[in-house]
Structure 1
Amino acid sequence: MKKRVKLIVAYDGTAYHGWQVQPNAVTVEGVLNEKLTGLLGEEITVTGASRTDAGVHSLGNVAVFDTETRIPADKISYALNQRLPEDIVVQDSAEVPADFHPRFTDSRKTYEYRILNRRFPIPTLRHDTYFYYRPLDVEAMKEAAGYLVGEHDFKSFCTVGAQVETTVRTIYDLTVTKEENVIKIRVTGNGFLYNMVRILAGTLISVGIHEREPEDMTRVLAACDRTAAGPTAPACGLTMVGISYETKKQ
């Protein structure tokens, strides 16, 4: 009898061409499919909640798969981690209802973008933190972030050509904090457009160096034009923190 198993997956995305399976490229999804197929002795294809880009990291991406294995769902994580490379670790495995879908179930996703803001890089932070040497005005970035909270059309913050039904999204929380030399941009929303968080980060950085004023965010949103926003910040600074689902749907 088939059952649906949910995985919470953490990974360092440095060595991968993103989440989604691609021909002739090593991806997180591809590795999971391969190792699960070997472990369970049946062809396994996982479905992920977030198709993170090349170089993007995760502390809690969610994936599901269907299996006929007799191994208890909560034990699969232990067995799978024995087969996975050290830069992918399943944090939890659990059985979920057969109709649970990680992308189409109401959820809140949280991402964090980290910036090392100092004169010189720190080698140990190079994989998960974007080094930026120009001094950033964190207070201005905080003020700008406030304009982006709420339901808006985020077309200006989406890579041109992305195939989506609507570019309207809701940001529930967007904070900018600094601890020593590391600035953290943390955002929680009901969903994100292609490269949206990295464009948000790049735009806030442009505010931080006073290339634009915090109140310009209103104009950027209204423009619905990618060229109105700032650059796309590098992938290495972005980490998916986690996803919370509506309890009643699980």
Structure 2
Amino acid sequence: MDTMRLRLDIAYDGTDFHGWARQKGGIRTVQQTIEEALSLVLRDDITLTVAGRTDAGVHASGQVAHADVHPASLEQRSIEGDPGRLVRRLAKLLPEDVRVFAVEEAPEGFDARFSALTRTYVYRVTTHPAGALPTRARDTAVWPKPVDLEATQACADALVGLHNFAAFCRPKEHATTIRDVHSFDWARVSPHIYEARITADAFCWNMVRALVATCLTVGEGRRQASWPNGLLLRDARAPEVPLAPARGLTLVGVEYPPADQLAARAEATRAKREM
């Protein structure tokens, strides 16, 4: 066996990270931080592939990544047969705002990005005039006006399904903006505090924050209920669609098919993205 694929389950507070993806110039990112810690432990160059690249300021409690490592590296570090031992070792090296909660050998065919069936995000926002509670200020966005929950949910309902979400995405060359949103539900969790939970096969750049802001804009009465229907007919980013603040957004889960379907799912997804 030349390499062994490991699955990592990851959580982080994205406030002080410039997003997930490694960048030039030593900018602090989640990927760079974890890769450096893993490389130090295993004394090997480690590269992570992630289920969903989060933007600057976005958090995760259910992020998933994979890394291909040489079994010899595990043997030399006395963790052969139990990659889970990496959890404690990484905890000693990683800063407090990022944690790897599980490490295990991935099933054959597993790809953290392409094998995924769905990603789920939660967006937390307050409309209280005083803003967020100090103890939740890092993961709670502030919306400046009250919203009507019924109107907000009706807007979300209009966005569920298989659509071209070009109006809600920052353009990326040769990338499709067709996505299948499985569910989009809003709830009032306490006075002035709302949470939206959205699940889709995948999301394009800035899509969740744009969808959330669209719902809140309709919910406050600034736009008509029919607005999202028109946006779904657009084939380019709509400049009138705002972005909700990054701090309210958390990736909470990634769903995968059974082990015997992982490779087929990855192949189908990769072909779709390349097309």
Q: Please, what TM-score do these two structures have when normalized by structure 2?
A: 0.86
Residue identity matched to 1:249: Q
Query: What is the 5 A alignment of 1:46-195?
Result: 46-67=48-69, 68=71, 69-70=74-75, 71=79, 72-121=82-131, 122-159=133-170, 161-180=171-190, 181-195=192-206
Q: Which runs of 5+ in 2 are unaligned?
A: 263-275
Q: Does 1:12 align with 2:24?
A: no
CA contact (8 A) 1:220 1:228 kept: no
Residues 62-97 of structure 1: per-residue CA shift (max 9 Å, x gap): 111111213122222222122111111112111113
Distance 2:20 2:60 in 1: 10
CA contact (8 A) 1:171 1:188 kept: yes
Candidates 43, 46, 49, aligned match of 1:44: 46
CA contact (8 A) 2:214 2:242 kept: yes
Distance 2:117 2:105 in 1: 18
Q: Does 1:222 align with 2:222?
A: no
Number of positions where the alignment pairs a residue of Structure 1 with one of Structure 2: 249
Residues 181-234 of structure 1: per-residue CA shift (max 9 Å, x gap): 211111000000100000001111110111112232111101233226520111
Q: Give, in angstroms, the shift of residue 125 of structure 1.
A: 1.8
State the secondary structure of the residue aligned to 2:103.
strand
Distance 1:113 1:224 in 2: 26
CA contact (8 A) 1:3 1:98 kept: no
2:257 corresponds to:
246
Distance 2:229 2:41 in 1: 51
State the secondary structure of the residue aligned to 1:104.
coil
Distance 1:170 1:229, change over 3 A: farther
CA contact (8 A) 1:199 1:232 kept: yes
2:268 corresponds to:
none
Distance 1:223 1:144 in 2: 17
Residues 32-71 of structure 1: per-residue CA shift (max 9 Å, x gap): 1100011111111111111111100000111111112131
Q: Which runs of 5+ in 1 are unaligned?
A: none
Residues 134-180 of structure 1: per-residue CA shift (max 9 Å, x gap): 11111100011111111111111111x32343211101110011111
Distance 2:116 2:52 in 1: 13
**Backbone CA RMSD of aligned residues:** 1.5
1:23 corresponds to:
24
Q: Give, in angstroms, the shift of residue 249 of structure 1.
A: 3.3
The runs of at least 4 aligned residues of structure 1 exceeding 6 Å deviation read none
Q: Does 1:33 align with 2:35?
A: yes
Distance 1:95 1:47 in 2: 15
Residues 1-44 of structure 1: per-residue CA shift (max 9 Å, x gap): 42110001000001111100011201000011100011111111
CA contact (8 A) 1:7 1:77 kept: no
Q: Give, in angstroms, the shift of residue 123 of structure 1.
A: 1.9
CA contact (8 A) 1:49 1:103 kept: yes
More helix by share: 2
CA contact (8 A) 2:160 2:180 kept: yes
Q: Please, what TM-score do these two structures have when normalized by structure 1?
A: 0.95
Identity of aligned residues (%): 37
